[in-house]
Amino acid sequence: MFEVILNFLSNTYVGQPTLHTRKIDQHIARLRQNDWFHTIYYDEPYRSLFFSNRHVRKYLQLFV
């Protein structure tokens, strides 16, 4: 049982870089200054992606 848990944790967390929440929040704040972004940001299905989807958050972290 211990081996199964250890394999799960190692497969889940190893190799995944951490995301910088502060940087992502700053980039979202900059995007919110644009009118087109308001349409997306305040639509609930899309808004949840900004906070829960790792791929979206990774892209937002790299946004310049």
Residue 57 makes CB contacts below 8 A (sequence gap 6+) with: 19, 24, 50, 51
Domain locations in the chain?
Answer: 20-64
- Residue 21 to residues 3, 51, 61, 62, Cα–Cα distance (Å): 32, 10, 8, 12
Q: pTM higher than 0.75 for the full model?
A: no
For residue range 34-59, list pLDDT tens digits in order. 999 988 999 988 888 888 888 898 88
Asked if the model's pLDDT at residue 28 lies above 70, the reply is yes
Written as six digits, the tokens of 35 are 């009118």
How many whole angstroms separate alpha carbon 36 and alpha carbon 43?
A: 12
How many whole angstroms separate alpha carbon 25 and alpha carbon 50?
A: 9
